Chain A
């Protein structure tokens, strides 16, 4: 029997890793002090962060946030300043602290958000905003009952009525035109999808042009239900950005789909028309299109009609975003394998059936991130309407607010507020788009 005394009999407990390879030290070494260049980058970042924070922290923390602080009756620092403007009082309170005067937001948030909308009617905009979430819930989340789509269809009319006010019978009559369209479409849509669509549109147009107005007029004289009517020029602030952005994207989606299909089509003339439209719109800045809306579009509309500036801007912005959406959807169409088109043909589907049932559901799914990007870009670009002197959020800050007596000289606080608001919305939308991408990912990579 051999001697095995040199063999280890019990297991040695595993020794802990070296101090430099574990815990915080390891993390710091790998992530912050990784070689000379890593350390240098960390140092530069720390300096940058120090500079940002040393300016931002006092500005936010020592700032005046409430209008009550600026009341000479309660604040002893302001004794004898009853006749001074708010910004002067603010400067006295902030003397030497480096704080920001955020009381301006407390004072003017209503106008920043709603423009000159009558103060006792603001609940209407808030209600429309809340209903918006009910309306888009079935679009955004699968778990929501499908019946809510009916409300989504009605929502544009409800929102229009809530925001602009006036008699309820106008929107209802317009809605009736769409209902008529739908009925006609159901009657002949079984035989031919396109024929049903065109016939329905025809019936709807006849209703809107000749019958609807009379019916709405008659009903409103019999049953005058309505809200106080509000002029477009009284709607301003963030509401303007929101309404223009949402309306344009909603209208431009179907238009963009049609343009993309037209550009992919092998009908030579239709393709040509779509290419010229898309490339023209994409080649010019949005500002020039807004100039068109503000100064020359009125020339091209029928004599005697008087389109609102708001409406003209929505028309041009819709055309603008339709061209971009068309390009995104064209990308989605191009990404579909050729076999999908051929399989649809082999099933005996005609062109519109193939598009509706096979091609579009897949192409739209691929295009979702792009469409959301277009939407975020468009939402940010709605601030450009301030250039044609509409009082959207930025226009309101640059116009009435910066030149008002009370706040003449204030600057950063207002733009910080505007940036924050836009950031919240745009960042939120982009996060949703990433969630959607993950949800819809069906490839198993």
Chain B
């Protein structure tokens, strides 16, 4: 029997670091990490030298100092004496607000446009193709600037609402006014007992989810199909209305009214918010429409034919057979569209909406001159938002995706 040389006892040679796959991985990674460290060290030493040459330093202390500027829209208590950090949070909340509004409306618009683009109706499908191609192929910044132009130039001035021969009028029985300074909507006044109404409302929303789950289980168990839509609508409307009446109408609305040169009362929604919201909605809606269309087309024709063979009508085919399956294809690109909306909301700076980029990366940066700190913090905020959204949406994606065993 010939002895097989034991490879493990071979003395280690230096050339093994390159030619032996066991050691080569270590060598390459060591070299990589040394290169990266050297590169960052070089960057940091440059920064230190450059900052010292300009007599600057890195100091986050200025965030506690009074900001000294006003913000036209703030959801938390804020005035020009509040610190820069509060200003940044005002901006953060405004970013989250416009992103949330745009995500909801773009999803609705995108799903409708995507389905209509596949419609049998020749005219509407062509019209939707036109919408998708126009909005996908022109930069968002151009759309935002066009839409802010509409708000400023086409919406009437407040004084045009005045007098007997007013050229503009309020909509929805004198409750909503579109002006070039923004849109005025009624403001709810919460009186005692309104907490009960709100609680009933929240409970009824939860009730809808419980009912839908029950209806689905019933469908799978017995095949009985309940009119889910109508019953959901009933649960949504009836208990809240009852509570509202029983508690003696505790919520009233304060209507905006023209006093002096401008509207008073109600809530003023900034024109820039309207423009940004609308632009993000129509732009991203076009992309979502394409995702929805691709998702529906990915479902094989046999599914539609099978459901027709079972006697389902076209609306039920869409709701019960096609969309649930298409959703699995649609959700991953949808997540990245939601992330895009959040990131694109930073274009608010072009229309003057006070979002995070405009407060922290704009006025605070210019007033304090601390570019390094502001931009780094700005990136950190956006990174946190993006990672949170993708985390939440991935949980949802894992819940609905096809479980393969």
Contact = CB atoms under 8 A, between A and B. Distances in A.
B145 A394 contact: yes
B25 interface: yes
Nearest to A430: B137
Interface string A282-309: 1111111001100110111111000000
A287 B349 contact: yes
Given A376-B137, A394-B145, A426-B137, A41 B121 contact: yes
B142 A394 contact: yes
9 contacts: A34-B121, A41-B116, A283-B386, A291-B365, A299-B372, A303-B46, A387-B350, A394-B145, A422-B137
Given A380-B138, A418-B142, A423-B137, A267 B121 contact: no
Interface residues of B, number: 53
B123 A41 contact: yes
Contacts of A269: 29, 32-33
Contacts of A291: 361, 365, 371, 375, 378
A31 interface: yes
Interface string B125-151: 001000001101111111001100100
A34 B382 contact: no
The 6 closest A-B pairs by CB, nearest first: A31-B122, A426-B137, A380-B139, A283-B386, A285-B343, A295-B371
Most A CB within 10 A of own CB, among B28, B142, B361: B142
Given A299-B46, A300-B43, A302-B46, A285 B121 contact: no
A63 to B, nearest CB: 17
A386 B153 CA distance: 22
Contact of B141 (A296, A376, A386, A430): A386
Interface of B: 25, 28-29, 32-33, 36, 43, 46-47, 49-51, 53, 116, 119-124, 127, 133-134, 136-142, 145-146, 149, 153, 339, 343-344, 346-347, 349-350, 357, 361, 365, 371-372, 375, 378-379, 382-383, 386-387
A426 B383 contact: no
Contacts of B136: 426
Contacts of B379: 284, 288, 292
Contacts of B138: 380, 419, 422-423, 426
B286 to A, nearest CB: 12
Interface in A87-109: none
Contacts of B149: 411-412, 415
Interface residues of A, number: 56
Contacts of B29: 267-270
Contacts of A298: 50
A280 interface: yes
Nearest to B141: A383
A398 interface: yes
Interface stretch (A44-52, A72-80, A170-178, A217-225): A44-52
B56 to A, nearest CB: 9
Contact of B139 (A49, A285, A394): A394
A427 B347 CA distance: 23
B313 to A, nearest CB: 11
Given A41-B123, A296-B375, A419 B357 contact: no
A410 B32 CA distance: 55
Interface string A245-288: 00000000000000000000011111001000001101111111
B390 to A, nearest CB: 8
Contact of A282 (B121, B123, B386): B386
Contacts of A227: none
A270 B29 CA distance: 6
A423 B134 contact: yes
A211 B395 CA distance: 57
Contacts of B346: 285, 287-288
B371 A267 contact: no
Contacts of B343: 284-286
Contacts of B141: 383-384, 386, 394
Given A284-B379, A411-B149, A383 B142 contact: yes
Contacts of A381: 139
A351 B148 CA distance: 54
Contacts of A415: 142, 145-146, 149
A438 to B, nearest CB: 16
